[in-house]
Amino acid sequence: MDLNELLNIHEETCEKCKTMMIRKNKDYTGGDTATDIFANFNSAKIIGMHPVKGLLIRVIDKVQRINSFANDKKLSVSDETVYDACEDIINYAILAKAMLMKERKEKKDYRKEENVLPD
């Protein structure tokens, strides 16, 4: 493999991940009329857990699935490939980044409203 092949994989993977995120977001957040794009992760608050930590638990599940494949050279559940697990991790990383950015923005907006200087 050379750099061009790697960059082609990157481009194809990012496009596939974006398409998958659009499709899965509807399923995991309440459907077409949902307004909280992070609803499934925000549900971690029910048990007192930060939503990003809840997301990271799901990442660990995907890492374990990839680890099982590396160990056994096969997966028992055939409707999700090891590549799918890799792509899910990419989407989880993007979601975590977006959630943290949203949290930081809301914190800054709150401080501005309260006439407090941000960090």
Residue 108 domain-assigned (yes or no): yes
Residue 22 domain-assigned (yes or no): yes
Residue 12 domain-assigned (yes or no): yes
Residue 118 domain-assigned (yes or no): no
Q: What is the pLDDT of residues 32-85, one digit of tens each?
A: 888 999 999 999 999 999 999 999 999 999 999 999 999 999 999 889 999 999
Residue 26 domain-assigned (yes or no): yes
Residue 82 domain-assigned (yes or no): yes
Residue 18 domain-assigned (yes or no): yes
Domain boundaries, position 106:
3-113
- Per cent of the chain over pLDDT 90 is 81
Number of domains in the chain: 1
Supply the DSSP string of the chain, one letter for each residue: --HHHHHHHHHHHHHHHHHHHHHHHHHHHTSTT---TTHHHHGGGGGT--HHHHHHHHHHHHHHHHHHHHHHSS-S-TTS-HHHHHHHHHHHHHHHHHHHHHHHHHHHHHHHHTT----
Residue 119 domain-assigned (yes or no): no
User: In whole numbers, what is the pLDDT of the chain averaged over residues?
Assistant: 92
pLDDT of res. 64: 97
